[in-house]
Amino acid sequence: MADLIAKTPLDGMDPVTIGTCTVTEVDLGTLTSIAPYANAKIADVFKDAHGMAWPAPNRATGKDGARAIWFGLDMALLAGPAPDATLAKHAALTDQSDAWSAATLSGTDAEAVLARLIPLDLSAGQFKRGHTARTQIQHMMGSVTRIGADTFLLMVFRSMAGTLLHDLERAMASVAARG
C-alpha cells in the first residue's frame, strides 16, 4: 500500500527574503470556523473554553498557537487548538484546516509591500496589532491580520497559495527596487 505524505499548501517552502521583507509559510494548526447559533451567547463560553476573548469585528485575540480571528459577520476562525466540545451547543463548528494557506510577511517595508496588493490602509496608526480584515489580496479573497509591529498574517484559500507567494515576491521586489 502506498504511503501518503501530507504536504503543506506551499510544500514546506523555505522563507523568501527580498529587500527588507521576508515571507514565511506558517502552520496554524487546526482551523475551525465558529458560527454562533441565533441568540447564542458565545463570548463567555468561548472565553471559558479557550482562555481568550471572542473577537470583535475586525479584531483578533489570542497569540501564536491559539488565536481567534474575526472572519465575517457573526463568525470567527479558531486557529491552533481543536475547538472545545462545549462550543458545539452554542455554534456551528466547521473544520477548515485543509481549506486555507497561511503565511507571514515581516519586515520594515511590509506595509509598502501590502499597499501594492491590498486596498486597505494598513499603516500602524490605522491597522494596529490585533486588527484583522477579510479583504482582497491582489485578486484573491483572503484575510490579513497584524500580529506584530511589522508582521502580518495572510490567509488565502489553499488553491491560491502559489499565487499568493508569487504576488508577494513581485511586490517585495518592486519595493526593494525603489530603495
CA distance 166 to 174: 12
- CA 67 – CA 78 distance, rounded (Å): 6
Give the span between the Cα atoms of 126 and 146, in whole angstroms. Answer: 11
Q: Which residues contact 34 (CB under 8 A, 6 or more apart)?
A: 42, 46, 75, 76, 77, 78, 83, 87, 91, 92, 93
Q: Which CATH architecture has domain 16-27+98-177?
A: 2-Layer Sandwich (3.30)
Q: 9 by DSSP, 3-state: which?
A: coil
* 106 neighbors 21 (Cβ within 8 angstroms): yes
> Would you state the pLDDT for residue 13?
87
Domain-by-domain residue ranges, the chain? 16-27+98-177, 30-95
Pick the closest to residue 149 from 112, 114, 124 (CA basis): 124
- Number of other CB atoms surrounding residue 46 within 10 Å: 26
Can you give the pLDDT at residue 17? 98
User: What is the distance between the alpha carbons of residues 149 and 46, in angstroms, rounded to a whole number?
Assistant: 27
CATH assignment of 30-95? 3.30.70
**What's the confidence (pLDDT) of residue 85?**
96
pLDDT in tens, the chain (179 residues): 788 888 889 988 899 999 999 999 999 999 999 999 999 999 999 999 999 999 999 999 999 899 999 999 999 999 999 999 999 999 999 999 999 999 999 999 999 999 999 999 999 999 999 999 999 999 999 999 999 999 999 999 999 999 999 999 999 999 999 97
Dihedral sign from CA coordinates of 142, 143, 146, 148:
negative
Show the cell assigned to 172: 517585495
Per-residue cell: 120: 486597505
Q: How far is CA 78 from CA 47, 68, 114, in A?
A: 12, 5, 24
